[in-house]
Amino acid sequence: MSTENTPPVGVTMLWMESTRVGSAARTHMDGTRSRLDSAGIPVRSQIFSEAVNESALGKISRLIGLVRAARRAAHRGVLVTRWHPFVAFVAPRWRRKGGRVLLLVQGNDDSTYETNPWLRRVPGIRKLMTRSLGMGSYVLCVNRGLADWVRSERSARADVPIEVMPSGVSDVFFDADPVDIGEPYVLFFGGLAPWQGIDYMLEAHRSASWPRGLKLLVIGDGAKAEAVEAAQGPTLEWLGRRRPEELAGYVAGALVTLCPKSNTGSMAKVTTPFKMLESAAAGVPVIATDIPAQVDMLSEGYGALVSADDPEDLARAVAGIASDPARRSELVERAKAFSPQCRWSYAAPQLARAVKSLEDDIASS
């Protein structure tokens, strides 16, 4: 667990999830810090943990340590925190000290359970979820589906602002030097979790509709790693984890990237995959399954949608882009046009307005 201290002014940042390098939570934490820095908002301290491969007991111990650190840090200022049920143990302390809580909501209850199944065994966890959402003095959600979910779950004043603030991606994905492996390739990158559609993707790759000889590279690790490893062959290679700087080159060099997420409760309306934004930032088209949240993301036109229930459809879509350079060029231009919106700095003014609103509320109380 780390507490990075800077001069005693400005906001405090709290991330309850593990922020190991390469994780979505770490990307979000670093991006939020980047937004605050670019807006000229000083960060008093960051409270987080980079723990990896924890047991359920280890996770509980880590969370207790983070809660204690955040309670000790409470002051008459703004706490900027990624939503987590255990924020319910922190927010009241900040309120009593005269502070305010800015909640950044990146997922709903289903996604929390999917990424942390052990939480289902924690007594009263649903109440903690609702209570923590209700303790935000200002709430910024990554998309419309999450904003609607927060409004339906909150138990707080109706006048608390609940807004949509899009995610961003690391600067390394902009203008990265493409990796050249000597042949065209399709890329999947990210966590190899069941809800990422790994089995669906592997079935598409085995299909006769997949372009003959076209390579699929897989970067990442997780529960489905064994299935990916077993599927390796002349046209499928698993590269394991890669640091963001190295990953960016593989993204930039890809013919197209894949985002085959499953149509689960957490994914349907509230997912906003970093991989889709990272691909757009690199000017590379995306093929994504047609779950509602991803349909919304591709309204900007930088990719193609396929049925989440039909691996053949994914294979045909890959073939369509691989065999039609003009079509790919059109998608590349749309990705490049959208890419400025993928920078963390794009929404920095919105975050700054939220912090300023809470600071004004503190000053007037």
Checking if the pLDDT of 300 tops 50, the result is yes
pLDDT in tens, 111-133: 666 666 666 677 777 788 889 99
In sequence order, what are the beta bridge partners of 218?
188, 238
Mean pLDDT of 59-69: 93
Q: Are 117 and 111 in contact (CB under 8 A)?
A: no
Neighbours of 300 (CB within 10 A): 14
Burial class of residue 94 in the structure, from the number of CB atoms within 10 Å of its CB (0-12 exposed, 13-18 middle, 19+ buried)? buried
The strands making up 286-289's β-sheet, listed across from edge to edge, are 236-238, 215-219, 185-189, 256-259, 286-289, 303-306
Distances (CA, A) of 80 to 22, 47, 51: 21, 10, 21
Answer whether 0.95 is exceeded by the pTM. no
State the pLDDT at residue 362. Answer: 95
Domains 2-167+344-364 and 171-342 share a fold: yes
Highest CATH level, class, for 2-167+344-364 = alpha beta
Q: Parse the chain into domains and list their residue ranges.
A: 2-167+344-364, 171-342
Q: How confident is the model at residue 52 (pLDDT cuts 50, 70, 90)?
A: confident
**What pLDDT is recorded for position 115?**
64
CATH architecture of 171-342: 3-Layer(aba) Sandwich (3.40)
AA letter at 342: C
Strand order in the sheet with 2-5: 2-5, 43-49, 11-18, 78-82, 100-105, 138-141, 162-164
pLDDT, tens digit, 9 for 90 and up, residues 317-364: 999 999 999 999 999 999 999 999 999 999 999 999 999 999 999 999
Residue closest to 67 by CA, chosen among 82, 88, 52, 53: 88
